[in-house]
Chain A
Amino acid sequence: MVKPAQMQCVSAKTTPVSVLVMLDQSSTLLGMFCAAMLSQAGFSVNVNKRNRHKHHLGDHSAVVLTPELLITLSQLGIEESALVGRAEGQYYLADRLMNWRATCVAPESDETLIGLAPSGVNANGIRFLHYLTRYRAAHSANLSDFSLNTLCAQRGVFTHPVSDPRSVLSTLEYGLMVNTEALVELLREVAIRCGAGFDASAKSMEHNLTIDCCFSDIDDGNWPLPFSTYRRLSEAEVSAMSVLPLCHNQAWTEQGLAQTCQLKTSRHGQLFGHQAEYAFAVGNSAPPEWVVSAEVGQIILNNQGLMRYLADQGLLFYAGILQLLSDTIAREAPDQLSDPVLHHYFNRTALQRYSGCYDTAMLRFYFAQPHTEANRRGLSQYQPSSELTHLFDLYSQSGVLPEYEHYEADTHWLENSLAALGQYPQGHDLMVDGLSEQQLDTFITQIRSRLNATAQRLPRIEE
């Protein structure tokens, strides 16, 4: 992936649009990301932090950054070296799912990895999964066997990928898992460097635009999640869990879904469940009206739906909605921000992206079969959208995935996720049948051998 040049803070000679970013202790990451992005883009930004909740409800102690997010942060001037050096950054290669198929496989086998990068090698215009599907009719093989990402994650090895497409190492893609507080501080430094103010007394009426990132627990039921409570795991709890360092670990337990990750010097984790005894509840709410004209000349952006997306702030950015916001409000004159055509465009596009992001995230929950009845009951309330239903039907019968404009996730991520949950198509592309059995066997074996040989040569990450 080609990294674009880092953006410079640009101060316009004309009067820039003034923006008030409101956040609270449960939305510091989202709010600070917003402030940094907009201040670097030349807006006059003020940040107003409110103290609303006793506990950190939305912000997790660690956040997972995808390769795309690393590029976005790099454009803000936050390089990988800073994330590794100051935010305990640990390389992220795959999601590790444990106990997701309790009703289907033996407990000792119920672990699978979803690599970030495409698996296998496409050939002759045909995706690799089709070759594998035909191969699986007579052999045992999983898609994750053909992913350098998962092979490295299993072995605990890593090196930076190369750009030469002839090298197997070019097929590796990575993100970072970082300490949230440290990332917030890095973003705050960007915002300050680009002129953002932190005035606790700043008011909406004094600005052209207000962006309210504060956490909210309003529930209108449009975007149901399979959980109703959330808490951070204690140090003791996290230490007791099985963690692969290069993975975002997601394990179903008696209490619910535990997400853990190993940073450079610390472990972090949170638990999503249905425990009534926890004092604070994660509400299931929607992005009702993304941009609502509250008063003349003002727009309020409400982030409720974003925060509800599994309450994992790393996923907030997958939908690219803050980038969309930045593009939409980058107007030459403040009065342009009251244009309802802009509002409609942002609302429509943000909602489309959010629904695509929601579908993509919920996909794995649709196929999850965790141990306890309480967990399964929570999942059973989720009904997939018509787009996702069509995707499942088409994929299961043919191995083809529809190209939905509003699904930001790449096709390979969907394939890797479905395969990880044991969902392989019943049919494959007929063009694959042009290969003889021996040719297919050779093709598959060669790929597997090259990947294994490459992974075996890589250095282990520092423990």
Chain B
Amino acid sequence: MFQAPKHPIQSVVILGGGTAGWMTAAALVKLLPQSQLTITLVESDAIGTVGVGEATLPHLRYFNQRLGIDERQFIRETGATFKLGIEFSHWGRQGDAYIHPFGDYGKPANGVNFHHFYTAAKRSDPSLSLDSFSLPVMACKAKRFDFPSTDPQSLLSTYSYAYHIDAGQYARFLRSFSEALGVTRIEGKVVDVITRVSNGEVAALTLENGDRIDGDFFVDCSGFRGQLIEQTLHAGYEDWSHWLPCNRAVAVPSKHAGDPLPYTKAIAREAGWQWQIPLQHRMGNGLVYCDEYMTAQQAEDSLLNALPGAALAQPNHLRFCTGKRQQSWLKNCVAIGLSSGFVEPLESTSIYLIQAAVMKLIELMPQRANMVVKGREYNRYFDHEMTRIRDFLILHYHATQRDDSAFWRYCKTMLIPDSLQEKMTLFTRYGMIEPYRYGLFLEPSWVAVYYGQGIIPQSVDARAVAQHQHDTGAATAAMAELAKQVDESVMQLPTHAAWLNRLHSEHTPVPAGQTASASLYGVRHG
């Protein structure tokens, strides 16, 4: 008779609710055997959550699917709209705009990425636009949406989608989900953390009412303050503010002006940027800025003056320091969410990082004997993920020609990480993008930002140039055909507004066979 091995880790305590806490609880209770593990979440209604993470990445669909969450129910519960990408305006120059899509551009040929062929072709035809070769970009511009095709041969399979959601509603939804499956929620404010004398591990939490919550393993979702990982265990923090100088945000919901768009907006402003996230019944708005260049009052006024519709609440001001914990997993505690670090939501990475952390924790769920090696692996993985995301965000700020404000002059001239400097030099001179196997933002994302912000390579891959010159007529015709296919495919899609209306109908299912994958791009060619 099989006997389950005795797991010394028998109780997990999660400190903090919100999206991080309830995503952690939901995943642990759903995916791990409950006969061996008790899960307790401690949160205080008196402590507010940040509640600004509302735009997501396609990976969230995979998370929901693993938890068995029905997509229609999710959309209904969270007021979700669909998202095909992010529009960035005024980042390269005042007046410009581009979309970073959830999809690829064109098709590679003979191991050479499409953007080389595109750039070679554009030399003889300046009217060419990279946007024409991306189905999700063109769909965004046309305000259209449909679920991707499951046929890998179809052009309509070469993109993915995510959601705009009310993160607070998502957390509440996951709370109901988790409690129904056996998570114990305890209302209370933690006033003390007890550690073991022998090894410094966290042993228990003491609440304001005197209750003591014991645990074998702790997940710190307490937000920026990191009550366990930092205030108790002193993990240390790596400050990235010299590369990503924004340190404040102000957020306010408003009414819509028109139908919700199938993309997020990131609008560069004089000392930062403004987000617009369209939900079903309201618009999420926020301004991220650097307080060296703008006061809180100025930021609030600026945001309120730029709302698409009437404000629906008082502005909520936040302060943050971009960076990450030196160790997100320390002893018997792992920090998830804002307690592990923070990068601004420029590319909607906040909920993604929570998901990545949670799934990695589940994969590495420790026994006492292997805690050290698993913690080492978790930290290695998370460091890698965060550093690559950081570099990609820095690119947005540094790849600018703007010099119309002190903030942008700083961003344009600041020193950047060596890793990013090499990347930018290689692209600027040769159109080269280092291929990665792992990580969130792969070649299509870098192509989107480089070209979108006016960084055009001075030269490209000679094989692409040679192929173009070998038979310019055929190469031009092939490009035109691809652009035509994209255009025709997009025009067949329903409008985003029509899809949202259909979803309210009781009889409209989400198409079957939508297998979510851990990728931004759908099916990629090559």
Which residues does A use to contact B, with CB under 8 Å? 4-5, 7, 10-14, 16-17, 41-42, 75, 125, 134, 137-138, 323, 327-328, 330-333, 336, 339, 341-342, 344-345, 349, 390, 393-394, 397-398, 400, 402-403, 405, 427, 429-431, 433-434, 437, 440
Q: A405-B436, A405-B438 are in contact. Are A437 and B2 (CB under 8 A)?
A: yes
Residues of A within 8 A of B437 (CB): 403, 405
Residues of B within 8 A of A137 (CB): 2, 5
Residues of B within 8 A of A13 (CB): 469-470
Using a CB-CB cutoff of 8 Å, which residues 412-428 of chain B contact chain A? 422, 425-426
Q: A10-B466, A16-B462, A437-B1 are in contact. Are A323 and B111 (CB under 8 A)?
A: yes
Apart from A332-B459, A341-B429, A394-B377, list 11 A-B contacts with CB within 8 A.
A11-B466, A11-B470, A42-B466, A125-B66, A332-B465, A336-B459, A342-B426, A400-B374, A430-B33, A431-B32, A433-B36
Which residues does B use to contact A, with CB under 8 Å? 1-2, 4-5, 7, 31-33, 36-37, 66, 109-112, 362-365, 367, 369-370, 373-374, 376-377, 380-381, 384, 422, 425-426, 429-430, 432, 434, 436-438, 459-463, 465-467, 469-470, 526
How far does the Cβ of A39 sit from chain B's closest Cβ, in whole Å? 12
In the complex, the chain A residue whose C-beta lies closest to that of B1 is A437
In the complex, the chain A residue whose C-beta lies closest to that of B469 is A13
Q: A10-B467, A345-B422 are in contact. Are A397 and B373 (CB under 8 A)?
A: yes
Residues of A within 8 A of B32 (CB): 430-431, 433-434
How far does the Cβ of A388 sit from chain B's closest Cβ, in whole Å? 14
Give Cα A187–Cα B373 distance, bound, in whole angstroms.
Answer: 47
Q: A4-B110, A42-B462 are in contact. Are A402 and B436 (CB under 8 A)?
A: no
Give Cα A430–Cα B30 distance, bound, in whole angstroms.
Answer: 12
How far does the Cβ of B122 sit from chain A's closest Cβ, in whole Å? 14
Question: What number of residue pairs across chains A and B have CB atoms under 8 A from each other?
Answer: 127
Residues of A within 8 A of B462 (CB): 12, 16-17, 41-42, 330-332
Is the beta-carbon distance between B2 and A138 smaller than 8 angstroms? yes
Residues of A within 8 A of B380 (CB): 390, 402
Q: A10-B466, A339-B429, A433-B4 are in contact. Are A344 and B422 (CB under 8 A)?
A: yes
Residues of A within 8 A of B110 (CB): 4-5, 7, 75
In the complex, the chain B residue whose C-beta lies closest to that of A127 is B363
Is the beta-carbon distance between A400 and B466 smaller than 8 angstroms? no
Residues of B within 8 A of A327 (CB): 111, 432, 461
Considering residues A323, A328, A345, which has the most beta carbons from chain B within 10 angstroms of its beta carbon?
A345
Residues of A within 8 A of B33 (CB): 430-431, 433-434
In the complex, the chain A residue whose C-beta lies closest to that of B435 is A327
Q: A12-B470, A397-B370 are in contact. Are A430 and B460 (CB under 8 A)?
A: no
Set A331, A393, A400: member contacting B430, Cβ < 8 A: A331
How far does the Cβ of B470 sit from chain A's closest Cβ, in whole Å? 5
Considering residues B437, B462, B467, which has the most beta carbons from chain A within 10 angstroms of its beta carbon?
B462
Is the beta-carbon distance between A402 and B1 smaller than 8 angstroms? no
Residues of B within 8 A of A397 (CB): 369-370, 373-374
Give Cα A342–Cα B432 distance, bound, in whole angstroms.
Answer: 10
Is the beta-carbon distance between A398 and B374 smaller than 8 angstroms? yes
